[in-house]
């Protein structure tokens, strides 16, 4: 996808030598790696379809054992440990993550398919930062406003799009508040969570404080439904989020749900156009569009729509798709065959229903692996499925608007409410539009920025509860929300 150039970028692959992938992996329960009793499953490199490892599936009994281990650790050790001591364990973990950052980044890229530059420059540094941030809260909870009483055992289920980062978002605040955790990583991306288990050992974290059970939906369901779990934290699809909400109904379990989105990225005619184009690209093509808060609906003011689209196409033509381990790759592999099928299906529906154009830059897809080119649909309206349903892939729907009110109405015309973007050079307009958008995160003149201090989470069907910042503590303390 590089334009013809006097110097085509030569391959610049990051070395795989830094990671040591085992042939088989067990569960991490009570501080030890143990066998699972379900049916083991394989995790593959989505860029090559090569099988990376066989991973144990946690049965109901395994989940039970993990919850019991977590309960024991909570009651005997972690829940009664002074905050400043818990803090030091979390600081240790943060440091080890920094020290092993290259290894974590490469493993994440191999198991997930995301470009190494993203795992190296975004995911892993943010993971370390998250542990550092919450480490510091562990001995300051009395100042946070939610009391100091932990909930107990947290059952946490995370998705495949940011495997290690989502782990950090879940584990760091839970541990800081004195809870113990049983975490289930996604079945297509379990490897960095299992490496994190090793890091817990390396940090001498007391046994049972962190337990990791691998498996698919059934394992997650067993965990969420387990009566010994006091807190459920889930990131993933809205459909599963609703099922979890039903599962915990009538119990005393607290829940946070971080679910899907269909964010509007609104570009006004006075936008800083070059940065807006970057923001559109970052918004939808970062991490192959496997981002719940992706700016998947571009709302561009009619008067500059053509200009913005011209620039966007030109910019997209410089995106480099291919080997995720190549340091110059911008667009990596789609995480799984199933996700690729889902993206293709919705894109095909888009092609049939939309009167506008389906466009991708000239782009050679590798023969093996799961790939989808960055794609833009123009002429989309709110009535189209590709403007309503979360595609979770590198597919942008372009809609236009004429007035600020129309932009807000269209942006809010969705059951989701996770994020939104605004591009304008007029301060008062930004503040007004930001206040009228029904979304938990509003990026004005930027997009897809994350920080441990900044709470993240949605309105409406994008879920409830916040992760990150002081507010993220509320989910793990008795004095917190719901």
Partner 1 sequence: MSDRIDVRKTYKLYVGGAFPRSESGYTYEVTDAKGAFVANAALASRKDARDAVVAARKAFGPWSGRTAYNRAQVLYRVAEVLEDRRPQFVQAVVQSEGLSASKAERVVDESVDRLVWYAGWADKITQVVGGANPVAGPFFNLTTPEATGVVAVLAPERSSLLGLVTAIAPVVVTGNTAVVVSSYSRPLAAVTLAEVLATSDVPGGVVNVLTGSAATLGPWLASHMDVNALDLLGTAGQTELARDLEVAAADNLKRVRRAPAAEPDFTREPGLDTMTDFLELKTVWHPMGV
Partner 2 sequence: MPITASSAATAPTGGSGLADVTSSDAALRRFLHGLPGVDQVGAEARAASLATRSIKTTAKEQALDLAIRMVDLTTLEGSDTHGKVRALAAKAVRPDPADPACPSAAAVCVYPDMVATAKETLGDSGVHVAAVATAFPSGRAALDIKLADTRDAVEAGADEIDMVIDRGAFLSGRYLQVFEEIVAVREACARADGEDAHLKVIFETGELQTYDNVRRVSWLAMLAGAHFIKTSTGKVQPAATLPVTLVMLEAVRDFRRQTGQMVGVKPAGGIRTSKDAIKYLVMVNEVAGADWLDPDWFRFGASTLLNDLLMQRTKLRTGRYSGPDYFTLD
**Interface region with partner 2, contact rule CB under 8 A, candidates 179-187, 272-280, 335-343, 344-352:** 272-280
Count of residues of this chain found to bind partner 1 when the rule CB under 8 A is applied: 45
Phi, psi of 451 (to 5 degrees): -155, 145
Residue 123 in contact with partner 1, rule: CB under 8 A: no
CA angle centred on 95, ends 326 and 87, rounded to 5°: 140
Q: 305 is written with which tokens?
A: 């729509």
Look up 258 and say whether it is catalytic: yes
Among 95, 140, 327, 438, binds partner 2 (CB under 8 A): 327
Is 61 near partner 2 (CB under 8 A)?
no
- Using the rule CB under 8 A, is 7 a contact of partner 2? yes
Check residue 453 for interaction with partner 1 (CB under 8 A).
yes
Closest approach of Cβ 224 to partner 1, in Å?
13
Q: Which is nearer to partner 2, 11 or 145 (CB)?
A: 11
User: Residue 92: in which H helix or E strand, if any?
Assistant: helix 83-99
Residue 434 binds partner 2 (CB under 8 A): no
Is residue 154 within 8 Å of residue 233, measured between CB atoms? yes
Nearest alpha-carbon partner for 213 in 247, 252, 248, 185: 185
- Print the binding letters for residues 212-251 with partner 1: x by CB under 8 A, - otherwise: --------------------------x--xxx-xx--xx-
Measure the CA–CA gap between 371 and 323, rounded to whole angstroms.
10
Residue closer to partner 2 by CB (options 125, 136) is: 125
Distance CA 249, CA 115 (A): 40
Rounded to whole angstroms, the Cα distance separating 339 from 393 reads 8
Which one of partner 1, partner 2, none interacts with residue 12, CB within 5 to 8 A by kind? partner 2
CA dist 27 and 25 (Å) reads: 7
Q: Measured from the CB of residue 12, what is the shortest distance to partner 2 in angstroms?
A: 4
Residue 440 interacts with which of partner 1, partner 2, none, CB < 5 to 8 Å by class: partner 1
Instruction: Supply angle C-alpha 166, 391, 407, rounded to 5.
Output: 100
> How many residues in the shown chain lie near partner 2 by CB under 8 A?
26
Q: For partner 2, which stretch binds (CB under 8 A), given 173-181, 264-272, 401-409, 452-460?
A: 264-272
Task: Calculate the CA 57 to chain-centre distance.
Answer: 22
Q: Which among partner 1, partner 2, none contacts residue 460 (Cβ within 5 to 8 A by kind)?
A: partner 1
Is residue 4 involved in binding partner 2 (CB under 8 A)? yes
CB proximity list for 192: less than 8 A, separation 6 or greater: 104, 107, 108, 111, 163, 164, 167, 185
Rounded to a whole number of angstroms, the minimum distance from the CB of residue 15 to partner 2 is 12
- List the x/- string, 111-130, binding to partner 2 by CB under 8 A: ------x---x---------
Q: State the catalytic residue, choosing from 258, 390, 461, 467.
A: 258
> 104-133 burial, b for 16+ CB within 10 Å, e for fewer?
bbbbbbbbbbbbbbbbbebbbbbbbbbbbb
State how far Cα 349 lies from the chain centre.
26
- Residues 83-122, one symbol each (x = binds partner 1 by CB under 8 A, - = not), give ----------------------------------------
The H-or-E segment that residue 311 falls in is helix 305-316
Q: Which residues pair with 157 in a beta bridge?
A: 184, 234
Binding mask 176-205 for partner 2 (x = CB under 8 A): ------------------------------
Judge whether 172 and 143 are in contact, CB under 8 Å. Answer: no
Q: Does 441 bind partner 1 (CB under 8 A)?
A: yes
- Alpha-carbon distance 379 to 306, whole Å? 11
Nearest residue to 342 via CA among 304, 379, 308, 385: 385
The residue range among 7-15, 42-50, 166-174, 294-302 that interacts with partner 2, by the rule CB under 8 A, is 7-15
End-to-end Cα spacing for the chain: 49
Counting contacts by CB under 8 A, is residue 425 touching partner 2?
Answer: yes
Find the binding residues for partner 1 in span 381-440 (CB under 8 A): 415, 417, 430, 434-435, 439-440
Task: Kindly state whether residue 101 participates in binding partner 2, applying the rule CB under 8 A.
Answer: no
Other beta carbons within 10 angstroms of residue 362's beta carbon come to 8
Q: Which is nearer to partner 1, 316 or 418 (CB)?
A: 418
* Residue 44 DSSP SS3: strand
Find where tokens 């459920």 sit: 232
Q: Which is nearer to partner 1, 14 or 461 (CB)?
A: 461
- Taking CB under 8 A as the rule, does residue 257 contact partner 1? yes
Catalog residues that contact partner 2 under the rule CB under 8 A. 3-12, 117, 121, 270-275, 278-279, 318, 327-328, 425, 445-446
Q: Which residues are catalytic?
A: 258, 292
Catalog residues that contact partner 1 under the rule CB under 8 A. 129, 145, 238, 241-243, 245-246, 249-250, 252, 257, 259, 415, 417, 430, 434-435, 439-446, 449, 451, 453-457, 459-461, 463-464, 466, 469-471, 479, 481-482
């Amino acid at each position: 996808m590089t334009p013809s150039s006097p110097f085509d970028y030569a391959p610049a692959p990051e070395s795989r030598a830094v990671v040591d992938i085992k042939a088989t992996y067990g569960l991490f329960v009570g501080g030890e790696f143990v066998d699972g009793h379900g049916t083991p499953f394989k995790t593959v490199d989505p860029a090559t379809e090569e099988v990376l490892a066989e991973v144990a599936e946690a049965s109901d009994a395994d989940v039970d054992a993990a919850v019991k281990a977590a309960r024991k650790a909570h009651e005997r050790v972690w829940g009664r440990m002074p905050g400043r001591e818990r803090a030091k364990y979390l600081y240790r973990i943060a440091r080890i993550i920094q020290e092993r950052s290259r290894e974590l980044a490469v493993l994440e890229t191999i198991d997930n398919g995301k470009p190494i530059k993203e795992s190296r420059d975004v995911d892993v540094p943010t993971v370390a930062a998250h542990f550092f941030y919450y480490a510091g809260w562990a001995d300051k909870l009395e100042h946070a406003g939610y009391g100091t009483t932990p909930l107990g055992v947290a059952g946490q289920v995370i998705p495949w799009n940011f495997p290690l980062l989502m782990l950090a978002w879940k584990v760091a605040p839970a541990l800081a508040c004195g809870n113990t955790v049983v975490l289930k990583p996604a079945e297509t991306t379990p490897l960095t969570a299992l490496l994190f288990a090793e890091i817990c050992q390396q940090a001498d974290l007391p046994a049972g404080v962190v337990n990791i059970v691998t498996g698919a939906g059934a394992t997650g369901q067993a965990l969420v439904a387990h009566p010994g779990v006091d807190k459920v934290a889930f990131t993933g699809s809205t459909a599963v989020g609703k099922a979890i909400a039903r599962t915990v109904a009538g119990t005393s379990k607290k829940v946070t749900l971080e679910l899907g989105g269909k964010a509007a990225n609104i570009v006004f005619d006075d936008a800083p156009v070059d940065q807006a184009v970057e923001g559109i690209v970052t918004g939808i093509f970062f991490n192959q569009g496997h981002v719940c808060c992706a700016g998947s609906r571009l709302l561009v003011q009619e008067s500059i729509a053509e200009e913005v689209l011209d620039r966007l196409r030109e910019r997209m033509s410089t995106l480099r798709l291919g080997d995720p381990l190549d340091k110059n790759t911008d667009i990596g592999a789609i995480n799984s065959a199933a996700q690729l099928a889902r993206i293709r299906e919705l894109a095909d529906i888009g092609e049939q229903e939309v009167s506008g154009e389906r466009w991708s830059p000239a782009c050679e897809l590798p023969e093996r692996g799961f790939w989808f080119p960055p794609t833009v649909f123009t002429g989309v309206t709110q009535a189209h499925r590709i403007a309503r349903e979360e595609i979770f892939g590198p597919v942008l729907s372009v809609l236009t608007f004429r007035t600020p009110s129309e932009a807000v109405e269209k942006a809010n015309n969705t059951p989701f409410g996770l994020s939104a973007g605004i591009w304008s050079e007029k301060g008062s307009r930004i503040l007004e539009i930001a206040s009228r958008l029904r979304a938990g995160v509003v990026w004005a003149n930027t997009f897809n920025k994350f920080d441990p201090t900044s709470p993240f989470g949605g309105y409406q069907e994008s879920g409830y509860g916040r992760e990150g910042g002081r507010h993220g503590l509320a989910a793990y303390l008795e004095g917190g929300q719901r």
